[in-house]
Amino acid sequence: MNVSDYHRVAEDWERRATVRTRPRRLLEDDDKLIYPLSRQPLALSATLLEQCPQWRDFVLLQSFYKFINDVVIFETEIVDKTARSIAKNRFSLPFPATVRYAAMTVVVDEDYHALVALDFLQQTVGMTGIPPLDLPPQIELSRALPLALAQAPKHLRDAVELICVAIAENTVTHDVAAFAKDHSVKASVRGLMADHLCDEGRHAQFWTHLVRHYWQGASPDDRDAIAHVLPTFLAHYLTNDLQQRFDLQLIEHLDVNTAVRQALRDEVEALVFPITRQHPLVGNIMAFLKRSGLLNTPSVAQALGDFLPVAGSTS
């Protein structure tokens, strides 16, 4: 990359980054939802709707707090770490100065997203008078990434980290897009998601470019070794046990009788997302792996065979 590439990256960030272009968003006091019903099955459970519908908004509020907490962990503890390592030239994979500069814009963006999320949390507590319950100290990626790195040969750990973070960044882009389009949710919250999406779209392209560039130069042996690690990463990244644990904790804070509480528990425990090709996030992940070139490698396609569409299937 040359000087013109640097100027293009710099000008694009100055023109589009939300930290540069968006005013502070303020939470409005209206009758819209704080969090989409479609993202919290507990709020739509038959037992809750029939026996204790008055607790629906509390469930959505606490789910919003968890979402904010997840965003902060994802941005500051995981993506920030990888991007900062690249920006400060501490990554074992060599990147030119323009890429390191672009990585630093990702650091600034992600820390800003965390700041805005925390601002919304405080605004929401102030408006509702209801603080968050104890929030999980980790997200699925917090567990999946170290497990994948532990399986990788030492010289490939930074490459595996890059690929796993890129998978997560591309996944969250699609997730945030769906959130931003839900008009049952408060306009300020949708605006928050739209702002986030504006930056994450650029980030997804940035990570995809880096992974594609790395993969094109990787040796066949290194590609095969990384392929071996990917199923472990996906198995732990796509699990819903942390969400289920949170929902069970949430049920304990509802003022309902023992029978209703147990029925709610049973509904939450029955809700599972098998980690197969039908999992709601797998399509986006496979699309990223195809765009970045990984799925063109036979060992990757073989390792992830359980996640790929069956020949002739429209799924």
pTM to 2 decimals? 0.92
pLDDT per residue, tens digit, the chain (315 aa), is 444 577 788 898 999 999 999 889 999 999 999 999 989 999 999 999 999 999 999 999 999 999 999 999 999 999 999 999 999 999 998 899 999 999 999 999 999 999 999 999 999 999 999 999 999 999 999 999 999 999 999 999 999 999 999 999 988 877 777 788 889 999 999 999 988 888 988 899 999 999 999 999 999 999 999 999 999 999 999 998 999 999 999 999 999 999 999 999 999 999 877 777 777 788 889 999 999 999 999 999 999 998 876 544 444
Q: Which CATH architecture has domain 3-20+28-306?
A: Orthogonal Bundle (1.10)
> Per-domain residue ranges for the chain?
3-20+28-306
Q: Which one, of 125, 167, 123, lies nearest residue 145 by Cα? A: 167
Distance CA 205, CA 147 (A): 26
First to last CA, the chain: 39
